[in-house]
Amino acid sequence: MFDNLGQRLQSIFSGLTSKGRLSEEDIDKAMREIRRALLEADVNLKVVKTFTERVRTKALGADVLFSLTPGQMVVKIVLDELTQLLGGVPSKLVLSNRMPNVIMMVGLQGSGKTTATAKLAFLLRKKGKKPLMVAADVYRPAAIDQLEALGRELQIPVYRGESSDPVEIARAGVRHAVDNMLDVVIVDTAGRLHIDDEMMGEVVSIKSATRPDQILMVVDAMTGQDAVTVADAFAQRLDFDGLIMSKLDGDARGGAALSIREITGKPIKFASMGEKPNSLEEFYPDRMAKRILGMGDVVSLIEKATDLDLDGEYSDDDAERLMRGKFTFDDFLKSIKQMRKMGGLGAIAKLLPGGEAMKQAAGQMDEAQVNRTEAIIYSMTAKERANPKLLNGSRRARIAAGAGVQVTDVNRLIKQFNEASKMMKMMQKQMPAQSKGSGKGSSKKGKGKKKQKQKSTRYGLPGSGFPGF
């Protein structure tokens, strides 16, 4: 969503950082370009004016104009102001000590509210909670059936009740949670195609009946400034606690996410970055600002790798073998599997500093190409995958025929494999001595500690186990 804006801002900054000194004219020109880029990204006009004025005032300070690296100082100012625009500090989901905690989901129809309810329940379960989803949307056709289907898929209980009154369903859902020792209730309320008195009256009644600890509004990031307008209207009539931005992985311009905090005063608590149940992420303003400016988000990448338990793909014996530079095609397959779990090479590249070149390369490596790579490896025998040196000309021809590709495709893959193997050996040489292996004379206790050290550092992404070929 922020790709176009990010590219425009990075282009503006490259012109600033290439200069040894900046004049007031240089800064004014940059501000005009930044203003145009934000407006083209559908950021609210009032927000754009306030943002650029704050940046300009700070950029004209003596600390910038007389700095040895004034361009980089301006970039830092924009980063800080962009972080403040997105909320400044993370706004966590605050739950009380009572049992159960009640979370109420509100929003317009079509904003992704029911899906967001299931994603939030899935996220809370990973944090050790026992959630219950309450289907209180009795108006939209199949809304209750949709939530129940999601509940079955995620193995999370859903309460639908016998009544046709959403207020009574919500109240009974809370009682059901108490009776079954479930500590979080997420109430999926009905949406409307527009804000009206009937809709607001109903959500206020549900609020009074359930006394929610948190009210979260789901807004569709793809609707642009309409999402900001709707959120502002909700904020004036229903004092909700925070926002969930759905469809933030879409190809819209991103203005809603950059405007909504400034206009409504309500923080973004979560962002939905895809369709899968685990695609709901806690929102960190500083990390998002760095992504927009092309500075990467390695912390999120590490958290994603840890959350997916990528180390589970590798045993301790695998770790020791890889640390000795013994890289096989089976490891290559595991790398592909791990990349897919993390969203593909393109998704990984977006989280790396200066990942633009990698993103372009990732665009050339489409899913069909990855499938061909897997087909080639699966056409090898177990011995060939374990010992690539066996792959002579005749074996390569047989593998190409089995995978339905050309011999040149097999040769290209083997070349990539050899480069990855060399990279692993280089990394092994750069590793500190204490993390290179346990040695034959080590005690079991010491050996275990060293293996743990390998798991945390061996591929440059702590805890990830991702070779990154």
Q: Which domains occur in the chain, in start order?
A: 3-85 (1.20.120.140), 101-293 (3.40.50.300), 303-457 (1.10.260.30)
Contact call for residues 105 and 240 (beta carbons, < 8 A): no
Contact call for residues 87 and 268 (beta carbons, < 8 A): yes
What dihedral do alpha carbons 313, 319, 322, 323 form, nearest 10°?
150
Contact call for residues 423 and 335 (beta carbons, < 8 A): no
152: tokens are 């079955």
- What pLDDT, on a 0 to 100 scale, did the predictor assign at position 308? 58
Question: CA-to-CA distance for 41 and 282, rounded, in angstroms?
Answer: 23
Residue with tokens 């509100």: 106
Would you call 426 helix, strand, or coil by DSSP?
helix
Q: Is the pTM here over 0.75, yes or no?
A: no
Q: Position 429: which residue type?
A: K
Question: CA-to-CA distance for 229 and 288, rounded, in angstroms?
Answer: 22
Residue with tokens 């020792």: 181
- What pLDDT, on a 0 to 100 scale, did the predictor assign at position 397? 94
175: tokens are 């009682």
Nearest alpha-carbon partner for 376 in 416, 424, 345: 416
Question: CA-to-CA distance for 150 and 146, rounded, in angstroms?
Answer: 6
Residue with tokens 């995620």: 154
What does each of the 469 residues of the chain score in pLDDT, given as a tens digit? 577 788 888 888 888 777 777 788 888 898 999 999 888 888 888 999 999 999 988 888 867 767 667 878 888 888 899 899 888 888 888 888 888 999 999 988 888 899 999 999 999 999 899 999 999 998 887 889 999 999 999 999 999 888 889 999 999 999 999 999 999 999 999 887 777 788 888 889 999 999 999 999 998 888 777 888 888 888 888 888 999 988 877 656 667 788 888 888 889 999 888 788 888 889 888 888 887 887 755 555 656 656 655 445 555 555 555 555 567 888 777 777 777 666 655 565 565 555 554 455 444 455 677 788 889 999 999 999 888 889 999 999 999 999 999 999 999 888 888 887 777 666 566 555 444 444 444 444 444 444 443 443 333 333 333 333 3
Torsions phi, psi for 42 (to 5 deg): 70, 30
Contact call for residues 263 and 233 (beta carbons, < 8 A): no
66: tokens are 């007389």
Contact call for residues 115 and 246 (beta carbons, < 8 A): yes
Question: CA-to-CA distance for 138 and 163, rounded, in angstroms?
Answer: 9
Nearest alpha-carbon partner for 409 in 368, 381, 362: 368
User: How remote is the C-alpha of 136 from its chain's centroid?
Assistant: 29
Contact call for residues 296 and 354 (beta carbons, < 8 A): yes
Q: DSSP secondary-structure letter at 109?
A: T
Answer left, alpha or beta for residue 319, where phi above 0 means left and psi between -120 and 50 means alpha.
Answer: alpha
The residue count of the chain comes to 469
Question: CA-to-CA distance for 259 and 252, rounded, in angstroms?
Answer: 14
Question: CA-to-CA distance for 411 and 418, rounded, in angstroms?
Answer: 11
Torsions phi, psi for 186 (to 5 deg): -115, 115
Q: From the CB of residue 338, how many other CB atoms can be counted at a distance below 10 Å?
A: 22
Question: CA-to-CA distance for 81 and 351, rounded, in angstroms?
Answer: 20
84: tokens are 């403040």
